A and B are shown apart, each in its own frame.
Chain A
């Protein structure tokens, strides 16, 4: 049981880190609370399924994955330009629009694929055995892919010119504009990247663990991404990693010890989020303190 916890926990943590990184980027840089972020997760799984099983003559694992990520990235960018861009100032409108978007995606997928599950094949067959436990290659692959992508994006943010521009944007939008940085383009790119990462995450989890996807699977990732980012601290990449670890393991633990309690997972993530917001709003490694009270 403990080994299972360990393995699954690591998988969960790694993938959640990737998912949440996308969220923290769009929250911190594009300054939007994208309620449809979980939809990227769901859409990623479905596109992976589609490209692999039906479209383009049954693509292989990696091409499907990459294509799915690209497709969702484009969807994210379009969604941003069309819907989000125009309601930027208004908090309520933004939430209404992004939830609306999420529901539109949900319904669209339901119409095309039906409300039931869709089977996602594992990334790779076979497993290695570490001290009596079978660790599937899928899981190892999931961990590797997530962590490498996470590292790539982090390096991109800190080392490249564009990445530093994004960071500037997250700290002071007006100043960034004055510096000649094309904030709109950058924000759109951020959402696209968030989309891509969410899509990869959405593929890796089903492909390595649950083996299934349904149109409603966008809400748990949303809650988790929120909770991870709040826990780790807004704007902190290190925080996202740590937050993902904590939440990944707690969630897995809850899932293992209470197999019937699907809702408990969401409740745990929520509980963490609310607790952090009440006790230490800036999270573990967050930099900005909210002045109000």
Chain B
């Protein structure tokens, strides 16, 4: 059984079809990339899968269980977490408290080993993304790169089976990109399956073994990074029809 199975997912906004009959599946242990030009519908797709938007038609199944139509927090508690393209930290809370929120969720608190306190686990998660030094700082003073890592730590707090990352590398300099790549690899080895939306193709191709391409809401290609790089339609979409 696939970890995530999406079939014929469609979403219209008035006259605009943002996501058009998209189908794909994600298996346990994969890192799958999701690319496409701006406006292709990637974030909309995320919003649909995670319950933040109502779909017009289609199905979404997590481990065979239909999750379409469930409230977002319920979906998270079934093991599907996401980060946001534009970071959404809890500004008034210290960094560690941001993660603590996720550890207060039913699933998050459930999966804390009995020997640890939530604060201990939150600190460990911060260490995993390299933010432990900032743990007492209010989230509002963190730099952009740190905030992106905080998003990930927070999502990890819910112990997801599947992690959807929306442009985790956006706005990061090369050093930060490198660090994040390493963090994500570690997270992957810890047993988390990931779907990553990204524009920074080089960073993405290092991580993803399989890539989906979206264009105007439709899936136009699917394959390994090498296949996608050579795929005629993909090149056309990104580069335009050349001579």
* Residues in A whose Cβ lies below 8 Å from that of B51: 293
Docked CA distance A220–B53 (Å):
35
A289 CA to B13 CA in the complex, in Å? 9
Asked if residues B13 and A293 are in contact (CB atoms below 8 Å), the reply is: no
Determine the chain A residues whose CB is within 8 A of the CB of B90 once the complex forms.
Answer: none
Bound-state Cα–Cα, A293 to B55, Å:
11
Q: Which of B65-82 contact A (CB under 8 A)?
A: 72
Q: What is the CA–CA distance of A293 and B48 in the complex, to the nearest angstrom?
A: 9
Name the residue on A nearest B71 (C-beta).
Answer: A293
**Interchain CA distance A291-B72 in the complex, whole Å:** 14
Q: Which of B12-52 contact A (CB under 8 A)?
A: 13, 51-52
Instruction: Give CA–CA (A293, B13) in the complex, Å.
Output: 13
- The contact string, 1 if C-beta is below 8 Å from chain A, for chain B 1-18, is 000000000000100000
Interface residue range, chain A:
under 10
A276 to B53 CA separation, bound complex (whole angstroms): 18
Check A292 against B13 for contact (C-beta < 8 Å): no
As a 0/1 sequence over residues 190 to 207 of chain A, the CB contacts with chain B under 8 angstroms (1 = contact) are 000000000000000000
- Which residues of the partner chain B approach A292 to less than 8 Å between Cβ atoms? 52
A291–B52 CA distance with the chains assembled, in angstroms: 8
How far does the alpha carbon of A216 sit from the alpha carbon of B75 in the complex, in Å?
Answer: 47
A292–B50 alpha-carbon span in the complex (Å): 12
Closest to B72 in A: A293
How distant is the Cα of A293 from the Cα of B52 in the complex, in angstroms? 4
Residues of B contacting A293 with CB < 8 Å?
51-54, 72
Docked Cα-Cα span, A291 to B51, in Å, equals: 12
The complex places the Cα of A292 from the Cα of B71 at a distance, in Å, of 12
Name the residue on A nearest B51 (C-beta).
A293
- Please, what's the 1-or-0 string for A279-293, where 1 marks a CB less than 8 Å from any CB in chain B? 000000000010111
Chain A residue nearest to B14 in the complex (CB): A289
When distances are taken between beta carbons in the complex, the residues of chain A under 8 Å from B72 are 293
B48-64 vs A, CB cutoff 8 Å, 1 = contact: the mask equals: 00011110000000000
Q: Using Cβ atoms and an 8 Å threshold, which residues of chain A touch B54?
A: 293
Complex Cα distance, B18 from A289, in Å, reads: 15
Distance to closest chain B CB from A280 (angstroms)? 12
User: Which B residues are CB-close (under 8 A) to A289?
Assistant: 13
Which residues of the other chain, B, contact A291 by a CB distance below 8 angstroms? 53
Return the chain B residue nearest A292 by Cβ. B52
What's the minimum C-beta distance from A17 to chain B, rounded to whole angstroms? 27
Complex: A291 Cα to B13 Cα, angstroms: 10
B81 to chain A, nearest CB (A): 17
Give the complex CA separation of A292 and B88 in angstroms. Answer: 13
Q: Which residues of A contact B13 (CB under 8 A)?
A: 289
Collect the chain A residues with CB atoms within 8 Å of residue B53's CB. Answer: 291, 293
Which chain B residue lies CB-closest to A287? B14
- As a 0/1 sequence over residues 86 to 97 of chain A, the CB contacts with chain B under 8 angstroms (1 = contact) are 000000000000
> Within 8 Å CB of B52, what residues of A?
292-293
| A window 250-293: CB within 8 A of B | 289, 291-293
Distance in angstroms from A265 CB to nearest chain B CB is 34
Q: List 8 A-B contacts (CB under 8 A).
A: A289-B13, A291-B53, A292-B52, A293-B51, A293-B52, A293-B53, A293-B54, A293-B72
New contact pairs (5) apart from A293-B53, A293-B54, A293-B72, CB-CB < 8 Å: A289-B13, A291-B53, A292-B52, A293-B51, A293-B52
